[in-house]
Amino acid sequence: MRLQLLDTQVETDVPRTTVGPAGDHGSVEMQELYETLNILAGGIETLNNDGQRFSNESLQSDAQSERQTSIYSPPFYSSPTGYKMRARLYLNGDGNARRTHMSLFFVLMRSLNDPILKFPFNYKVTFCMYDQTPAQRHIIDSFRPDIRSNSFQRPRSDMNIASGIPKFFPLAMIQQEGNPYVRDDTMFIKVMVDFGDMPKTLLPYALSLNPGLPMHVQQAMIKQEAERRVQQQSE
């Protein structure tokens, strides 16, 4: 099986949209959505970066035989001067999830940027395993860091201890012939760090957009959907 780990660099210095005067609750809510969506749109762009993908054949057989219990994605940054991080995947599970679930974890790494960054790291991390059929029933799960954990303090070695979601996806489902998450022996997993507290209800829509669309088109579609939802809430 071939695995593609898609890392997402979430830029926070994108232009923000002004939507109305301060004090207007609806306008403030819309502005917060726009700011979050701009951050997301900046992150989606790296889905098209083939150089940041990790692939290896026969990973599942290696995991089951315990020749290789886990694999790492290439390192990536939250911004040019941001956090350095990577994903760690246990195809055959880890700990209590061993032999029952795929386990997916987030790893903070030491970098030259650390002296100017805020620690402990306290931003929500979202994992998405793509349904490669038109149904687009993606598997999406998130976690918020435990800021008391050493995993999210400033790294003192090359990598902190991985932390994340041990029971990310049942092995029984991924091993089913014809499942929508493995096509042509390939699986796609996206990692997104959310610096803007995107509403949970909006995330599936954003992740359902075609990554092949130009970024300005994706951003326009997400903003349009956000406007529609805010308008519905105000009615």
* Contact predicate 140/188, CB 8 Å: no
Q: What is the arithmetic mean of pLDDT over 192-208?
A: 78
CATH number, residue 126 = 2.60.210.10
Which H, E and C letters describe 121-186, residue by residue?
A: CCCEEEEEECCCCCCCCCEEEEECCCCCCHHHCCCCCCECCCEEEEEEEEHHHHCCCCCCCCECCE
| CA atoms in the 13 A half-sphere facing the CB of 110 | 7
The reported pLDDT for the residue numbered 64 is 56
Q: Which residue has the higher pLDDT, 188 or 65?
A: 188
pLDDT in tens, 44-90: 333 333 333 433 344 455 555 565 578 888 888 888 899 999 999 99
The reported pLDDT for the residue numbered 5 is 58
| CA atoms in the 13 A half-sphere facing the CB of 234 | 13
Give the whole-angstrom CA distance, residue 161 versus residue 215: 34
Q: Which residue matches tokens 């599936």?
A: 204
pLDDT in tens, 211-228: 788 767 876 887 788 889
Tally of domains within the chain: 1
The reported pLDDT for the residue numbered 68 is 56
Helices (H), the chain: 25-44, 59-65, 171-174, 203-208, 215-234
The reported pLDDT for the residue numbered 178 is 87
pTM listed for this prediction: 0.70
Q: Which residue has the higher pLDDT, 66 or 140?
A: 140
Question: Which residues span the domain enclosing 115?
Answer: 2-234
